[in-house]
């Protein structure tokens, strides 16, 4: 009988972003996996891919923290590899976003170059489950390998954003929005994310879960201390362990089963070896996340009807909205499902839910946290 080796996920406690402690924790996690030398070789070009959804003060917990970035960057530089970094944010100029996130300052100090995430090249992916063609940022393609630094946060579409989802930022600019329109069913979208990971195959994932984000993530949720860093070369297993820590069934994250199907990794606890900390004492049952399966609906009138009945509706809190118009600008459907339907821009935008594909880009990118996901009564009953 052939015995499959388990996927290893290293879990290290770290209660603070104090750099010395973060460095020690990153080193300890890497040592449990055999050291960074297991993943990179002297002379290679390695790209660090943090999560920079949008440039944001590190205290807001939207982005991978600069201390984690600094620790990984320092270890790589000491190994004499050429290091670059980058992410394609939701909007805005890459350099300005990196500066607001506190990453540019670290990169400049360590002589880490900002890679080109503005332009991309078409790449085919014959083995993909669904999406056989991607436009990938040139900065990614110019590197020999990726080290992915996801941030542990909640997410309206996928429940949780972690290791698998982090690579979505390797698709430059507005090309990302088209996937929401083309793949309106969240499971199709998740399959595309898995395909992207089997194409790019980051060598290692180091998740920043020291301060996570709960509630209305991934941009305007609440920071929540979990005090952990997670390390693995298997992104599905890493996400599975992170889900267990926030008391979320990994099967509720659409990329889990699909990732296993594609051979990207495993989400089954029996097939994962957690090394380092015992995760039981780290489990936070109070972490605010939607603990329900994602509803698989896409287009067509019946599906649209079902979606309108069962899927949470993005809703604007007019007392918070500043009428900035970003939700309108980044809504990917035509005609726009959120727009100035009242005919002026003095009052907040409104929704036409029959046009809305529930991609939640508006909620994700609203700078004020004015958009919430409101569950309908049928949705509450169906999803109990």
Contact positions vs ligand SF4 (CB under 6 A): 314, 316, 321-327, 331, 333, 337-338, 348-349, 351, 356-362, 366, 368, 370-371
The nearest distance, CB 366 to ligand SF4, in angstroms, is: 3
Closer residue to ligand SF4 in complex, CB, 130/324: 324
Closer residue to ligand SF4 in complex, CB, 272/359: 359
The nearest distance, CB 159 to ligand SF4, in angstroms, is: 16
Closer residue to ligand SF4 in complex, CB, 207/311: 311
The nearest distance, CB 317 to ligand SF4, in angstroms, is: 8
The nearest distance, CB 328 to ligand SF4, in angstroms, is: 7
Closer residue to ligand SF4 in complex, CB, 64/88: 88
- CA torsion, ordered 67, 73, 76, 81, to nearest 10 deg: 180
The nearest distance, CB 93 to ligand SF4, in angstroms, is: 19
The nearest distance, CB 314 to ligand SF4, in angstroms, is: 5
The nearest distance, CB 361 to ligand SF4, in angstroms, is: 4
The distance between the two most distant Cα atoms of the chain, rounded to a whole number of Å, is 70
The nearest distance, CB 331 to ligand SF4, in angstroms, is: 3
Closer residue to ligand SF4 in complex, CB, 179/360: 360
Closer residue to ligand SF4 in complex, CB, 278/344: 344
Structural contact between residues 89 and 104, judged by C-beta atoms closer than 8 angstroms = no
Closer residue to ligand SF4 in complex, CB, 32/324: 324
Instruction: State phi, psi for 207 to the nearest 5 degrees.
Output: -95, 130
Task: Report CA torsion sign: 33, 36, 37, 41.
Answer: positive
- CA proximity to 142, closest of 196, 68, 86, 197: 86
Closer residue to ligand SF4 in complex, CB, 48/370: 370
The nearest distance, CB 228 to ligand SF4, in angstroms, is: 31
Closer residue to ligand SF4 in complex, CB, 217/276: 217
Structural contact between residues 89 and 95, judged by C-beta atoms closer than 8 angstroms = no
The nearest distance, CB 304 to ligand SF4, in angstroms, is: 12
Closer residue to ligand SF4 in complex, CB, 34/92: 92
């Amino acid at each position: 009988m052939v015995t499959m080796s388990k996927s290893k996920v290293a879990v290290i406690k770290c209660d603070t972003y104090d750099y010395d402690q973060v460095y020690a924790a990153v080193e300890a996690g890497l040592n449990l996996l055999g050291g960074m030398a297991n993943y990179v070789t002297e002379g290679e070009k390695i790209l660090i891919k943090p999560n920079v959804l949008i440039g944001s003060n590190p205290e807001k917990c939207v982005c991978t923290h600069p201390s984690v970035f600094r620790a990984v960057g320092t270890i790589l530089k000491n190994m004499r590899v050429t290091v670059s970094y980058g992410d394609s944010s939701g909007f805005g100029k890459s350099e300005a976003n990196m500066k607001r996130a506190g990453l540019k300052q670290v990169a400049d100090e360590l002589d880490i170059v900002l890679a080109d995430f503005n332009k991309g090249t078409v790449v085919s992916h014959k083995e993909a489950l669904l999406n056989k063609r991607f436009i990938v940022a040139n900065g990614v393609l110019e590197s020999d390998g990726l080290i992915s630094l996801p941030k542990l946060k909640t997410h309206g579409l996928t429940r949780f954003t972690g290791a698998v989802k982090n690579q979505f930022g390797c698709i430059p600019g507005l090309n990302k929005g088209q996937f929401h329109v083309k793949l309106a069913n969240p499971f199709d979208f998740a399959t595309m994310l898995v395909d992207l990971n089997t194409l790019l195959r980051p060598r290692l994932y180091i998740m920043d879960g020291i301060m996570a984000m709960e509630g209305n993530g991934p941009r305007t949720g609440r920071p929540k201390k979990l005090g952990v860093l997670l390390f693995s070369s298997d992104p599905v297993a890493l996400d599975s362990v992170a889900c267990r820590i926030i008391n979320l069934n990994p099967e509720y994250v659409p990329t889990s089963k699909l990732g296993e199907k594609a051979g990207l990794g495993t989400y089954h606890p029996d097939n994962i070896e957690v090394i380092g900390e015992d995760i039981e004492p780290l489990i936070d049952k109070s972490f605010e996340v939607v603990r329900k399966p994602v509803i698989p609906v896409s287009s067509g009138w019946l599906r649209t009807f079902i979606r309108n009945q069962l899927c949470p509706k993005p809703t604007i809190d007019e007392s918070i909205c500043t009428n900035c118009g970003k939700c309108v600008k980044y809504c990917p459907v035509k005609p726009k499902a959120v727009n100035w339907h009242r005919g002026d821009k003095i009052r907040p935008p409104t929704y036409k839910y029959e046009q809305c594909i529930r991609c939640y880009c508006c909620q994700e990118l609203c700078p004020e946290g004015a958009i919430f996901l409101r569950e309908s009564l049928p949705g509450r009953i169906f999803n109990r």
